[in-house]
């Protein structure tokens, strides 16, 4: 494994917290994600089911977790089933987890091979009253491909039509939204590696470099520090490309006078950082670039201070929109009379700031968490305001990751340069 395994206490604690949410005689079943085919006999890189990983720490395909806290047989209260390895598997694919390794990683004492699942499953289905099955219920999710969990849910409905089937996702959303100290440590490490990557590219970027060369510098730094790689497909957008919110082709030249928007971060131990910085390709902001940059930075600072326990994200977003409107008026991008007459459901600031300001962060980059429930201490959220002026070919976004605290927040990226003077000073080191 590239990254050091997180402590089994984390996953044991996560399971205990889930069990406290379950009614009596409940059974929980989670499946690993499929290995997705590519072309010919190729496959895409494996990405574990986030909920399964959060409860077990097992980062391997063909894994099933079953929890039945009230099972009459204590050995059946926590069980994990992993793929049995052999010499042929080890030869072609590399070693898989042994039962002992799976137990050590997860804190689950009952580890069985996958072929033993059916017997235990049928025994526990005869006991359970409620069966909690999982699905991807992220509000932004689209699921054109049928998952292993979807197939299993269809099977359970067919074979056990009289059981009370329930949704696990709402419980997992609440469970995952508040971070354990070990999770915060992983997020800190992802942020640290990300910061090293950012400093590296600030010393590399100059007129004539290509966006894909910047991507290569980041990949080198992330991988050499034991990150899994990028937390998400990197956005490395020079000039007008920065006005495309999800620009990922990363193929154009960085030209003198351009700004370069970097929305890039590392994944460490399945936990994701999320950083955005915007830097001048030649190392110096123009007066107009600096004017817009400082406006975004002021909104960023204000938004960071607004994220507190009890805040509702939807209400927070409305307040950030009012702050952004003030900045856009100051930049001459909005007309005051037009703002006073605007449709409240179609605020004018969205022409220049069309996306949200914050999202939950964790095992998923856009991690689960309800936007209509009050924030709680222990949550980690991004703050990422931006201004995109298409007619000027100018786009600026800034983003850090914020841990919500009882009395004060912690910026997990506080040591990554963000002030314009810091950026210029860091880039000036290129010529030394």
The residues annotated as belonging to the active site are 41, 246, 263, 274, 355, 359, 366, 384, 388, 397, 399
Burial class (CB in 10 A: 0-12, 13-18, 19+), 364: buried
Contact call for residues 100 and 80 (beta carbons, < 8 A): no
Residues 6+ apart with CB under 8 A from 427: 202, 203, 205, 279, 280, 283
Q: Which CA distances in Å does 44 have to 35, 36, 41, 319? A: 7, 6, 10, 42
Convert 245-268 to b/e letters by CB count within 10 Å (16 or more is b): eebbebebebeeebbbbbbbbbbb
Name the helix (H) or strand (E) containing 394: strand 394-397
Q: Are strands 266-268 and 275-280 parallel, antiparallel or unpaired?
A: unpaired
SS (H, E, C) 284-304: CCCHHHHHHHHHHHHHHHHHH
Q: Which CA distances in Å does 80 have to 22, 52, 99? A: 19, 10, 9
DSSP 116: G
> How many residues does this entry show for the chain?
432
Report d(CA 8, CA 108) in Å as an integer.
9
Of 317, 299, 314, residue with least CA distance to 387: 299
Name the helix (H) or strand (E) containing 166: strand 164-167
Of 227, 222, 295, residue with least CA distance to 262: 222
Residues 6+ apart with CB under 8 A from 160: 125, 131
DSSP 75: G
């Amino acid at each position: 494994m590239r990254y050091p395994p997180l402590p089994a206490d984390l996953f044991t604690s996560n399971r205990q917290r889930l069990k406290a949410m379950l009614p009596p005689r409940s059974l929980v079943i989670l499946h690993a994600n499929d290995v997705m085919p590519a072309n010919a006999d190729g496959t895409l890189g494996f990405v574990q089911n986030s909920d399964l990983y959060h409860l077990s720490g097992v980062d391997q395909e063909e894994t099933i977790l079953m929890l039945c806290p009230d099972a009459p047989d204590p050995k059946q209260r926590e069980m994990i089933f992993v793929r049995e390895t052999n010499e042929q598997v080890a030869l072609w694919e590399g070693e898989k987890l042994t039962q002992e390794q799976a137990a050590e990683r997860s804190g689950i004492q009952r580890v069985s091979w996958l072929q033993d699942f059916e017997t235990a499953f049928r025994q526990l289905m005869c006991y359970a009253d409620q069966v909690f099955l999982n699905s991807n219920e992220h509000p932004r999710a689209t699921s054109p491909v049928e998952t292993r969990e979807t197939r299993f849910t269809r099977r359970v409905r067919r074979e056990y039509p009289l059981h009370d089937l329930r949704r696990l996702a709402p419980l997992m959303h609440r469970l995952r939204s508040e971070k354990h100290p070990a999770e915060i440590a992983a997020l800190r490490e992802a942020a640290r590696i990300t910061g090293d990557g950012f400093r590296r590219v600030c010393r590399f970027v100059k007129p004539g470099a290509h966006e894909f060369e910047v991507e290569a510098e980041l990949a080198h730094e992330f991988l050499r520090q034991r990150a899994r790689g990028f937390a998400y497909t990197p956005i490395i957008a020079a000039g007008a490309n920065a006005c495309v919110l999800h620009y990922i082709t990363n193929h154009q030249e960085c030209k003198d006078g351009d700004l370069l928007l970097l929305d890039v971060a590392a994944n460490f131990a399945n936990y994701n950082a999320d950083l955005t910085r915007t830097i001048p390709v030649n190392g110096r902001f123009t007066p107009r670039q600096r004017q817009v940059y400082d406006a975004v930075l002021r909104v960023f600072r204000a938004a960071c201070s607004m994220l507190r326990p009890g805040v509702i994200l939807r209400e927070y977003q409305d307040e950030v929109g009012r702050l952004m409107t003030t900045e856009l008026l100051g930049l001459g991008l909005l007309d005051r009379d037009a703002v006073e007459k605007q449709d409240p459901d179609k605020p004018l600031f969205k022409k220049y700031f069309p996306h949200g300001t914050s999202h939950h962060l964790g095992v998923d980059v856009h991690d689960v968490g309800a936007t209509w429930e009050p924030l709680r201490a222990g949550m980690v959220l991004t703050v990422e305001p931006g201004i995109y002026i298409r007619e000027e070919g100018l786009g600026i976004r800034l983003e850090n990751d914020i841990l919500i605290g009882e009395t004060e927040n912690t910026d997990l990226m506080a040591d990554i340069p963000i002030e314009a003077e810091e950026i210029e000073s860091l880039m000036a080191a290129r010529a030394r």
